Amino acid sequence: MTMARHGSQFSPQAGSMRARTPALTELTFLAWLAQAAPGDSQIYHLGFLAVDAETEFGGLSAQERRSLRMLADAAFRAAEQGLVHLVQARLGTDRFAYLAIARPKPTQPQSTPMVPLIAEF
């Protein structure tokens, strides 16, 4: 499966993809979101998000876990604002690709949810 033009390429068979550190930061995710066209997708984590973000069992340092939680929170806020769909694809046992797929942006300026999204940053 190939992701949209602004996102990453993703293959469920790519077992060698690692999630040692988040590929994105909260800030770079928001920058991607601001310019993403509807249907564009971005992989924001590879691994097991709940374990990787909250426990030492995921192999991430405390700082990397903090960064991952901030990134996951930004993705969730974007989904709550209706800016993205969040989906998962299983790569293997206890291993997933977490994707954000951009939705059409609101057409009315007064309802643009980017301001509250960034304000929480």
79: left (phi over 0), alpha (psi -120 to 50) or beta: alpha
Q: What is the pTM of this model?
A: 0.71
Q: Tell me the three-class secondary structure of 61-72, residue by residue.
A: CHHHHHHHHHHH
| Chain length of the chain | 121
- Give the other-Cβ count within 10 Å of 3's Cβ: 18
- Residue 44 near residue 22 (C-beta atoms within 8 A): yes
pLDDT score at 60: 87
pLDDT digit string, tens, across residues 85-102: 999 999 999 999 999 999
Domain locations in the chain?
A: 26-119
Name the token pair of 107.
Answer: 């057409």
pLDDT digit string, tens, across residues 7-35: 444 444 443 334 444 468 999 999 999 99
pLDDT digit string, tens, across residues 29-71: 999 999 999 999 999 999 999 999 998 888 888 999 999 999 9
